[in-house]
């Protein structure tokens, strides 16, 4: 079991959880997601701008679906940080509010905080910004459930 537990230091946690952003999780990898930071209960994930992510060819704005994947990935990583382990988890629900249009050409950064964990369920808030956390593009609220390994 100790193989699945995460070290206490942030660099060690980041190194271990970074596997979730390699070919081990193909769709995270396909979107070019990168794990920037992991704290005790939070995670920061970056999605670089790419032409294939564009949902509106006339404006170059990234599709909401790609933002959903970014938020889901960051939120799930925050849950594992809070649990201190590579736990098997599934997303139960995710609500996203789109607060302002994303600017084309810039990466999107999601910061997710797992603020409550019960025996089975974890609750996560996340915000997405493009460089200034005070100007969020999207905010979300999600719940995750632990499942049998």
22 binds other proteins (CB under 8 A): no
| Selected binder of other proteins within 95, 120, 131, 135 (CB under 8 A) | 95
In angstroms, the Cα distances linking 55 to 100, 127, 131 are 15, 20, 21
| Sole binder of other proteins in the list 48, 101, 131, 133 (CB under 8 A) | 101
CB 116 within 8 A of CB 104: no
Q: How far apart are CA 138 and CA 99, in angstroms?
A: 5
CA-wise closest residue to 66 among 24, 19, 98: 98
Q: Which stretch binds other proteins (CB under 8 A): 5-13, 36-44, 53-61, 79-87?
A: 53-61
Query: Of the ranges 8-16, 20-28, 78-86, 116-124, which one interacts with other proteins (CB under 8 A)?
Result: 20-28
Under the rule (CB under 8 A), what is the footprint of other proteins? 24-31, 51-58, 62-66, 68-73, 90-98, 101
């Amino acid at each position: 079991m100790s193989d699945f537990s995460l070290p206490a230091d942030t660099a060690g946690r980041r190194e271990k959880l970074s596997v979730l952003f390699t070919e081990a999780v193909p769709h995270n990898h396909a979107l070019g997601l990168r794990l920037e930071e992991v704290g005790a209960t939070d995670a920061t994930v970056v999605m670089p701008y790419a032409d294939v992510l564009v949902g509106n060819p006339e404006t170059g704005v990234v599709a909401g679906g790609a933002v959903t994947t970014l938020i889901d990935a960051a939120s799930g990583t925050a849950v594992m940080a809070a649990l201190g382990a590579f736990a098997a988890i599934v997303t139960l629900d995710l609500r996203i509010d789109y607060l302002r249009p994303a600017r084309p050409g810039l990466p999107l950064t999601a910061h997710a905080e797992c603020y409550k964990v019960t025996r089975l369920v974890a609750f996560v808030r996340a915000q997405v910004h493009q460089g200034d956390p005070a100007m969020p593009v999207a905010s979300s609220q999600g719940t995750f459930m632990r499942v049998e390994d």
